[in-house]
Chains A and B, each alone.
Chain A
Amino acid sequence: MNSLLETQRRFTNYVLRDLGQVSAVEGIKGNGLDAKQRLAIYRNNSQLGLTEALRDGYPVVNKLVDTDFFNHLARNFIQRYPPKAGCLLSFGANFADFIADFQPAAGLPYLPDTARLEWFWHEAFHEADAAALDIARLALIDPISYGNLGFSLHPSARFLVSGFPVLKIWQTNQEGYEGYGRINLDEGGCQLLIYRPELEVIIAPLNEAEHLFLNLLDMKLTLTQAVEQVITKDSIFDVQQSLQRWITNGLFIDFFINN
């Protein structure tokens, strides 16, 4: 059967999964070559294109494992999770989870979180734009309501908690980085906020209390509700300073008062 559907089924199985080469070449003209060689050009183009798309999204992972290992990783990933749309913006979303389960990468335990950081960066880069909250609007609020204030975070905001110093790993593997290249994995983990107030993606390290505070605000808790929980972690947490920092840095785009 050479229907369009059958032709495309066989072609796709071979190109993406290396399956059914014999039936895939059915109906293909050799014209001076083996039909298999012609089909293989498409397999190579597809694999190369998708591997480069992954490498573009995960440049630090690529640097950490070297090109050959990355290619091997990508090949396995593509077979298991080929793109689900003609637009590749969402392709590679679960690469971090895949790496975590990929036995040959088990010796690099910080790799999945590094990949998560890169994906959050990619998501933040393409997220919707939103203007920062206008401070003048806050000035109009009756101080009596401050405790009932809550905030909407920028749509690009993502939080990452890692047991590894992934921000340092990310920074030392950026193009043009000239600092000290060795990282002590024993120095411990980090809590990160990734967001894009304007055109540039920002990765901000947070201490535990501030990470909790911003997460609670993101869950639409009011200042009073959030602070109640945060002071159990850090009894001298400075709410005002934290709010000022994140209002100035464009993390909040709106507020509400929950009376």
Chain B
Amino acid sequence: MAHVQQVFTASTAIPVSAGIGLRSQHYRDVLESHPNVGWFEVHSENYFGKGGAPLHFLEKIREDYPISLHGVGMSLGSADALDVQHLDNLKGLITRIEPGLVSEHLSWNSFGGDYLNDLAPLPYTEEALLHLVDRIAQVQDYLGRQVLVENPSSYLEYEHSTYKEQDFLNELSRRTGCGILLDVNNVYVSCHNHSWDALEYLQGIAADRVGEIHLAGHTVNRVSGKDILIDTHNQPVCPEVWALYQTALQLIDTKPTLIEWDTDVPALSILADEAKQADSYLGASYELAA
């Protein structure tokens, strides 16, 4: 059966307000309670199926809210060739859902056709930069639109890196025209894990390239007497990350901000409360600027 293109009444553009990561547990609740949040974001790959409930509910929710598509499986940084089937699926989903934003990660997750299902860290070298520039250009050409690229959480860094992560991202954005998805929790996690300075990181990010901000919870793991932070998305945003978020808003300006919580997913109302808190900082930041 050919898919009939739907006309969505909700706008396409993602507003400068807080959004929530949409998870299948909440489909019915969202449609029934119509929570007061600005937009939803989904993991693109969860909607790569041909039909059924996931696409049905996403289209229903899209009627009422703008949607952002966030990918976790494109493997932008892999030495492997780009997976054309994956790009094709994403392009089909974009046509169907008309998202306001499309994003991916500054990472890689496949080698020799085997996939890790995790966002692996890149060495920030000239070689990697050129490779990523080429890949992002290919992706944007294929999709016919800009993508945002997110700074990852990482647990290791390479000795042969010659760029700081924020400089690497800025350079990618400058050379390809891609936007930056600034994940403030990832900044916090990676800075802690590598003894980087979070303030310096945020100050170094090209503010005018940032199109979206992510907030999430993380877990503290004790490894050989040292705390390593793991990006688990399984709890509320911690006070330190909220504080860093407020600093980011001052340095970068107000941006659409997502609450990501996808493991041990709580009730929708708890996510809405987190979004409300983000909205209050966005509002306060507006007032400061006014």
Using a CB–CB cutoff of 8 Å, the interface residues on chain A facing chain B are 2-5, 7-9, 11-12, 15-16, 27-29, 31-35, 37-39, 41-42, 45-46, 49-50, 53, 82-89, 91, 125-131, 155, 196, 199, 253
Contact = CB atoms under 8 A, between A and B. Distances in A.
Instruction: Pick the most buried of B50, B116, B228: most chain A CB atoms within 10 A of its CB.
Output: B116
Contacts of A4: 77, 79, 122-123, 125, 127-128, 131
Contact of A29 (B1, B108, B113, B158): B158
Interface residues of B, number: 54
Given A27-B160, A41-B155, 20 more contacts: A4-B131, A8-B108, A9-B112, A11-B120, A12-B112, A16-B114, A16-B116, A31-B195, A33-B224, A33-B226, A37-B223, A41-B221, A41-B230, A42-B155, A49-B117, A86-B109, A86-B115, A89-B45, A129-B52, A199-B53
Interface of B: 1, 45, 48-54, 56, 71-75, 77-79, 83, 85-86, 89, 108-118, 120, 122-123, 125, 127-128, 131, 155-160, 194-195, 221, 223-224, 226, 228, 230
B160 A85 contact: no
Contacts, number: 150
A85 B50 contact: no
Given A42-B118, A131-B1, A27 B52 contact: no
Nearest to B53: A199
A130 B3 CA distance: 10
A215 B130 CA distance: 54
Contact of B1 (A2, A15, A129, A196): A129
Contact of A126 (B49, B118, B128, B155): B49
Given A86-B45, A86-B110, A28 B73 contact: no
B111 A8 contact: yes
A255 B158 CA distance: 61
Instruction: Pick the most buried of A28, A83, A87, A199: most chain B CB atoms within 10 A of its CB.
Output: A87
Nearest to B158: A27
